[in-house]
Amino acid sequence: MDLNNAFKRDPLIDEYDILPVVEPKHNRSPFILENHKLGVEAWAMKVLLKYSLNRLIGWRSRNPSDQFIDPMDICNLSRAVLLFNADNYTAWNIRKELIENGTLSLSDDLAFGALVLSKYPKSPETFIHRRWLFQQLLDYCLSSSSGSNTSCSAAAASNEEALVNMEAIDVDVGAHPELGDRLHGAFSLESSRLLKSQTLRELQVCTQAAERYQCNYHAWSHRIWIIKHCLNCSLQVLISELETTNKWTSNHISDHSGFHFRQFLLRELHNKKSRLQSSHAKSSTYFLLAEMDYVADLIKSYPDHEALWYHRRFVFQELLKKEHIEEGFKQRRLELTGQEQPEFSYESNITDLRSLLISQEIEICSVQSSEKDACKGLDYLLGKNYVHWLQSL
Amino acid sequence: MKLYSIAVLLKTPEGKGKILTSQNELSSFGYFQRATVGEFMTFTNKILVERTATSSRASVKEQEYICHVYVRSDNLSGVVIADHEYPQRVAHTLINKVLEEFTEKCPQAQWSSVKENEVPFAQLKDYLQKYQNPKEADAMSKIQSELDETKIILHNTIEAVLQRGEKLDDLVEKSEGLSMQSKTFYKTAKKTNRCCVIL
């Protein structure tokens, strides 16, 4: 088949699309390969999808005529199906089996999934399949490490413990090159490299998918999954993710999913506050206050976006938690006076401080909305709703 | 937040739109769609300039795009195509700036005689790059003062801009600037209701 030839000719295809050619016009291959991009004429897509799906299902249901297909052909058939119907989970499951019996390699399938996501950036089945692949990759790394390196067999015995060592994976490779080597404690050299490069690649895949489809919840929640499972939510990763997505969200101000991801990061930072304090000498409140300034600035620059106001609600609500109120006041005080105040009892008047914060926030917002004065646009309404919400706290 | 194209046009005395110079940023589109998208941007630029009255501004929504148009009193016009997140006032400020600079580079006397889309104006590409992020372009602070009093007319679709009796489908069909491929693309995109291409 021509499709297989195309992939053989250029294994680096990084994008594909369906061309609007409704009928075969000439006696030529309906596949066009240019610059690592594959174009498939629409009529051929229909024929191909029907044929591949029938044979694949036939093989699956042990049809006598389709009984004995070469495993490589199964692989190609499932590829043809998934290129045009990314959410066919039978086909994805067949590929899982192919990986288990060694016909297909993990990294090949990861690359193929990335290709599918370039066309269908929101396909949930594709993301779920990738999670399975990463689970396999993690298992493989753990088992290979226990075999090759006896000193860490104890770590390998417990998933949890071994993963802690992965803290050292740095998302921003350029920034901390010296940290890359710390992985060796847990995994053998080769498998840790593989895992590291695939994880970094995966974060790129998520960014691309988010770029291609706005409010791509699947892409962002997959990113959360990767950070939790493959990077074990390490502080370094959380902080560098906060930095890298900063630019992305300021360019995609109406993307709820992007902001939701930042909320996850902030929450995780808070969960690890004691380690954050000891290793980075920063409190989780520090990040929340910075986020508040960030979102306030965005709201000012780009009126009329609901996502920003909702993000502000989240940040403010977090700041109202008891430990943040104390910490926040300490910090603000430090900024104002430049020195640490002598012990000040916050315990007694925590409720006072809370209502003080709320009234300050209300004041800020009412000043802003009165500046916008007469033009009672969408942003005026959003600001009013926010103040209303504040009053109900 | 994205800027897709900036174009400088002349509204000729016969009411036709003539492109003097234009620049597109199509990297976010699929490889095989780019040529078509480019053609449709040109097509849209002309249609909008032809149907916008002299010395008036408009912002026209079409699916996930907004086209910002300004036809100056001397009939020099600018069109910026952006997405919904892009601040409207920044887009119109950008048009002002581009038109001013263009007039300096290429005096009014030449406008009607030059060939279509052949005026050299390298700065346009820089503008398109720089204004992708309005904050970095330092456009946010000055906007209020710079934009003149002209009211910006809002339209919800391109169909709303068309004159009575005009149909977008017919205009696409009759257009000479669109290739066969683009026309088929338009039809299939419309049929399957996929918003992959402008219009």
A21: closest chain B residue by CA: B184
| pLDDT tier for residue B87 given thresholds of 50, 70 and 90 | confident
A34 interaction partners in chain B (CB closer than 8 Å): 31
Total domain count, chain B = 1
- Residue A267 is assigned to a structural domain of this protein: yes
Tens digit of each residue's pLDDT (9 = 90 or more) over A201-210: 999 999 999 9
pLDDT digits (tens, 9 = 90+) for A2-31: 677 777 767 777 778 877 766 666 666 778
Which ipTM was obtained for this model? Answer: 0.79
pLDDT in tens, B17-37: 889 999 999 988 888 888 888
Look at residue A312 and tell me if it is in a domain: yes
Q: How confident is the model at residue A146 (pLDDT cuts 50, 70, 90)?
A: low
* Percent of chain A clearing pLDDT 70 (strictly above): 78
Contacts with B85 from chain A: Cβ below 8 Å: 252-254, 302, 305
B79 SS3 class: strand
Q: What is the mean pLDDT of chain A?
A: 79
On the question of pLDDT at A160 being above 50, the answer is no
The more confident residue out of B139 and A98 is: A98
Tokens coding A201:
């690649």
Interface test with B, best of A250, A299, A301 (most B CBs within 10 A): A301
pLDDT band for position B149 (cuts 50, 70, 90): low
Domain assignment present for residue A26? The answer is no
Selected for mutation to probe chain B from A84, A251, A255 (highest B CB count within 10 Å) is: A251
Q: Is A197 a member of any domain?
A: no
Closest Cα in chain B, distance from residue A247 (Å):
10
- Give the pLDDT of residue A25: 66
Whether residue B54 lies inside any domain: the answer is yes
- Check residue B163 and report its DSSP letter: P
Domain span including residue B66: 3-133+151-162
Residue A157 has pLDDT above 90, yes or no: no
Q: Which two tokens stand for residue A296?
A: 């306030």
Q: How far is A252 from chain B (nearest CA, A)?
A: 6
Give chain A's domain count: 1
Q: Which residues of A touch B (CB under 8 A)?
A: 15, 17, 19-22, 32, 34-35, 37, 39, 42, 211-212, 250-254, 301-302, 305
Domain annotation covers residue A302:
yes
In a domain, A177, yes or no: no
Residue A336 amino acid letter: L
Among the partner-chain residues A22, A37, A253, the one whose CB lies closest to the CB of B32 is A37
The answer to the question of residue B197 being in a domain is: no
Say if B193 falls within a structural domain. Answer: no
Question: How far, in Å, CA of A245 to CA of A224, rounded?
Answer: 13
Q: Is A3 within a domain?
A: no
Tell whether the model's pLDDT for residue B145 goes beyond 60. no
Query: What whole-number distance in Å separates Cα of residue B38 and Cα of residue B33?
Result: 9
Q: Is the pLDDT score of B124 beyond 80?
A: yes
Q: Answer whether residue B51 is part of any domain.
A: yes
Q: pLDDT at position A72, please?
A: 83
pLDDT at residue A58, rounded to an integer? 86
**Domain span including residue A362:** 233-392
Q: Is A268 within the bounds of a domain?
A: yes
Q: What percent of chain A has pLDDT over 90?
A: 28
**Tens digits of per-residue pLDDT, A302-344?**
888 899 999 999 999 998 887 788 777 777 666 666 555 555 5
pLDDT tens per residue across span A49-103:
888 898 888 888 877 766 667 888 888 889 989 998 899 989 999 999 999 988 8
**Which residues in chain A have Cβ-Cβ distances shorter than 8 Å to B32?**
17, 19, 32, 37, 39
Q: Using CB atoms and an 8 Å cut-off, which of residues 140-179 of chain B contact chain A?
A: 140
> Closest by alpha carbon to A1, among A35, A52, A46?
A52
DSSP structure string for B95-128: HHHHHHHHHHHS-HHHHTTSPTT----THHHHHH
- Span between the terminal Cα atoms of chain A, in Å: 65
Q: What is the CATH number of the domain that holds B84?
A: 3.30.450.50
The answer to whether the CB atoms of B32 and A17 lie below 8 A apart is yes
Q: Between B188 and B74, where is the model more confident?
A: B74
Give the pLDDT band of residue A114 (cuts 50, 70, 90).
very high
Structural domain includes residue B9: yes
CA distance to partner chain B, nearest, from residue A271 (Å): 33
pLDDT higher than threshold 60 for residue A153: no
What are the start-end ranges of the H helices in chain A? 2-9, 42-60, 71-84, 89-100, 106-119, 124-148, 153-157, 159-164, 189-212, 217-229, 235-251, 256-271, 273-280, 284-301, 306-319, 322-337, 350-371, 378-391
Judge whether residue B79 has pLDDT over 70: yes
B31 touches chain A (CB under 8 A): yes
Segment A184-193 shows an average pLDDT of 64
Cβ neighbours of residue A310 closer than 8 Å, sequence gap 6 or more: A256, A259
